[in-house]
Amino acid sequence: MKILISKLPESGWWSSGIPKYQDNPAMREGARPNHNKLVAERERLISILKKENQTIIEIDFPTKLDQKNPKHDFIFVRDQFISNQSDLVLILRSGERLRRIENIVMGDILNKFNYNIINMPDVPGLRADGGEFYFCLEENILFSGIQRNTLSGINYVVETLKIDELLILDGKGYHLDTFFTPVLDSQNLLCATIVCDEILTSKSRKDLYEFSKKRNLPIFKVPLKDSIGTLENIGSFSVNALPLPGVLISPNHFTDKSIDRSLSELGIKRVITPTSQFELSGGSIHCITNEL
């Protein structure tokens, strides 16, 4: 699999202080990431991905976006697009208006890689972020959040990627990956889900349990502090994970240690690599990577 990761901006990421998006409780306004620590965390993640036989595509941080006081978060390359992990890339239309320049710039970058690029139309009401999706390739299943996504945006993704089955999970997190992750076995098949179900609406909780029961899939429940958390108590981002075949990469351990034992019994290797500096802007492992 090919994994896209952005290099850091020459000016230093959020060197003038992190701004605040109202729906992201983890963004610490005014905080300045420790650049040396940020570099080390990023390099360690890349090293781990290479050890797991993933092909890394590093792109330069766009000069166009390398400004003194930016109003975007391009380093989180998850959000600008979703691909079919083969030849098609769908450039999305950000749910956060200030970040829509990222969609345009990412489209320009990926055009150089000879992918079949499709751009989501720039029309009111059509919104989708990559952090709101988990795409399970082998079974052609798409999990979607619906906070920064709209229903029309989700449907556009479903139609473009020709998805066989969609499960929408409505929760308080601004992105699906703040409270949910699927788990993939060594054959790249869905074998479990991990969720902070107290974040879910009652309907979405019911839908997830029915979906899992039909497939005989375990659901591992985690507390709020294993997700993005709240304004008062920022979470550990443990659930913001990158699921690869037989591997789940997270920034922190789950509070319930038995989950790791259960995942091991399913043949899943757990890899922990910190992302403390990325978390200052409300993102982690899933956010800073994207499959191509």
Tens of pLDDT, residue by residue over 104-139, are: 999 999 999 989 999 999 999 999 999 999 999 999
- Grade residue 20 by pLDDT with cuts at 50, 70 and 90: low
* 209 pLDDT above the threshold of 70: yes
Quick one: average pLDDT of 162-168?
A: 98
Alpha-carbon torsion (215, 216, 217, 220), positive or negative: positive
> What is the pLDDT, as a whole number, of residue 15?
76
Quick one: average pLDDT of 47-71?
A: 89
* 160 pLDDT above the threshold of 70: yes
Domain that holds residue 118: 2-291
Contact 63, 12 (CB under 8 A): no
For residue 61, the 8-state DSSP code is P
Distance of CA 189 to the CA centre of its chain: 19
* 149 pLDDT above the threshold of 80: yes
Give the three-state DSSP class for 152.
helix
> What is the pLDDT, as a whole number, of residue 280?
87
Count of the separate structural domains present in the chain = 1
Mean pLDDT over all residues of the chain?
Answer: 92
* 217 pLDDT above the threshold of 70: yes
User: pLDDT higher for 280 or 289?
Assistant: 289
Tens of pLDDT, residue by residue over 174-202, are: 899 999 999 999 999 999 999 999 999 99
- Grade residue 229 by pLDDT with cuts at 50, 70 and 90: low
User: pLDDT higher for 58 or 19?
Assistant: 58
What CATH number does residue 66 fall under? 3.75.10.10
* 24 pLDDT above the threshold of 70: no
List of residues 6+ apart from 216 with CB closer than 8 A: none
* 211 pLDDT above the threshold of 80: yes
Contact 12, 34 (CB under 8 A): no
User: pLDDT higher for 166 or 172?
Assistant: 166
> What is the pLDDT, as a whole number, of residue 87?
94
> What is the pLDDT, as a whole number, of residue 155?
98
- Grade residue 281 by pLDDT with cuts at 50, 70 and 90: confident
* 231 pLDDT above the threshold of 70: no
Quick one: average pLDDT of 204-212?
A: 97
Q: Does the predicted model carry a pTM greater than 0.75? A: yes
Tens of pLDDT, residue by residue over 28-45, are: 777 788 999 999 999 999
Q: What percent of the chain has pLDDT over 70?
A: 93
Angstrom distances, CA of residue 264 to CA of 40, 56, 74, 188, 255? 28, 26, 34, 16, 16
> What is the pLDDT, as a whole number, of residue 132?
97
Quick one: average pLDDT of 143-158?
A: 97
List of residues 6+ apart from 202 with CB closer than 8 A: none
> What is the pLDDT, as a whole number, of residue 225?
93
